Amino acid sequence: MARLNSVKMTYAINRTGEIVSIDNVDNGLECNCICIDCNGQLEAKQGAKNQWHFSHHKDNDAINCQWSGESELHIKVKEYLDRYKRLTVPIGFTNPTSLDIQFDEIQLEKSLRPTKRIPDVTGYCAGEKILIEVKVTHEVDQQKRIDYKKVNVSVIELDFSDFTFIDTRIIDQEIDLYFRNPICNWLTVAPVGDIASQFQEHERAVTKELIVNNQNLLREAGAMVDYINSYRRRYEMSKSRIKDASERLEEVKNQIHHAKSERNEIIHSAAGLFNSTLDQLQRDHAVRLTAEFNENHRLLNAELNEINVVIKSKKDELAQIQHIIDQQDNKVNEIRKAEKQLNIEKNNFHQRELDWNKAAKANAVIKRHFMRLEPELRGMCRKGGIPWPFEGTLMEELSPSKDNAQ
């Protein structure tokens, strides 16, 4: 908003005391106008090149004057509201909707009794009074809000803190563009009237919707818990099957080790027998040695053939065992994939649980809001002589149990 410092003055007070635009006066000192802020004499600058504007005739007046671009913007906004008498306002504090108000009457700078406060604009719509404050650099202070609330009047603040414009003069088109989607919020809302009724109806609907959404989230969370428990049981069963497969695999490994040991013992025994026979042959004569050697050689070949048969059988068993091991590895991989999917679904459930917790916190905030609001509403009803419209408390009125009972 630093550009406000460069805004030129386009409004002044004429000799009859009215606020006039630079477009509706004579040029130079013939305008007969004074400054809105310091009452210093002004000169109308209506040249062919620069934007038309007022300037102080005396430099001393310009130095001491407190007029700013914020004053210009206030006047522009008030002029727009007085001319078109319309405003789009939010309805509700939670997920607000929009309401287009067409005022029957607009009054500027009218004192609000008995507070002696002077709002920027006072509008009347169907007999209901709505005060309008314009915020540029300073918002309505806390004491002023309290004074407005004491007299039970609806007050809305238009936020122009981020208002932007192109040149050194604020034009009507820029103001009109802002009012197509104004940034505003309610400072106070009267306890009775059309605005109050629409606020109450909106908040009631939003609260009921939040309650329904919370119930749906609870049901979804319960279903998710059942789903996770089902996967947990399947996971435990898979762990048990893996354990059994591991035990069977260990048993097969032991059998392979035992078979290898037996084979080595047979080979070692055959070698010992051969060496023993050879020693015996050395002590006997050559003929007997040759005959016994031939016989032992025949026997040894027979034993070796048997050993080869046993080795071949063991190789076949090892091939079958390797096939079983490969099958078990495939099952282990499938179980790991299932475990990975289970972790993903577990994370998804955790996220849903976080979303549910957020919704629960939001519900708690709404409950506290209504518990804090109910004493004020009851006090307003008593002050206005209006009976309490509900059979019980505000929370009982909005509770799901009452809706079900109805």
CB 400 within 8 A of CB 211: yes
Tokens representing residue 253 in the block: 């490994």
Tokens representing residue 282 in the block: 């050395």
The whole-angstrom separation of Cα 294 and Cα 281 is: 11
Give me the mean pLDDT over the 91-117 stretch. Answer: 88
217 contacts: CB under 8 Å, gap ≥ 6: 352, 355, 356, 359
Beta-bridge partner residues of 154? 130
The pLDDT of residue 2 is: 39
Instruction: Reply yes or no on whether the pLDDT at 268 is more than 80.
Output: yes
Same fold, 71-190 and 201-384: no
Which residue ranges make up each domain of the chain? 2-67, 71-190, 201-384
The whole-angstrom separation of Cα 175 and Cα 163 is: 9
Reported as a single tens digit per residue, the pLDDT across 331-341 is 888 888 888 88
Reported as a single tens digit per residue, the pLDDT across 27-58 is 999 999 999 888 899 999 988 888 889 998 88
The pLDDT of residue 405 is: 52
Q: Which CATH number is 71-190's, of 3.40.1350, 2.10.240, 1.10.357, 3.30.70?
A: 3.40.1350
Neighbour tally for 155: CB within 10 Å: 24
- Does the domain at 201-384 match CATH 1.10.287? Answer given as yes
Is the pTM above the cut of 0.85? no
Angle of the 172-180 helix axis to the 69-84 helix axis, nearest 10: 70
Reported as a single tens digit per residue, the pLDDT across 169-198 is 788 888 888 888 899 899 998 888 888 888
Reported as a single tens digit per residue, the pLDDT across 85-100 is 999 999 988 888 989 9
Confidence grade of residue 1 (pLDDT, cut at 50, 70, 90): very low
Confidence grade of residue 106 (pLDDT, cut at 50, 70, 90): very high
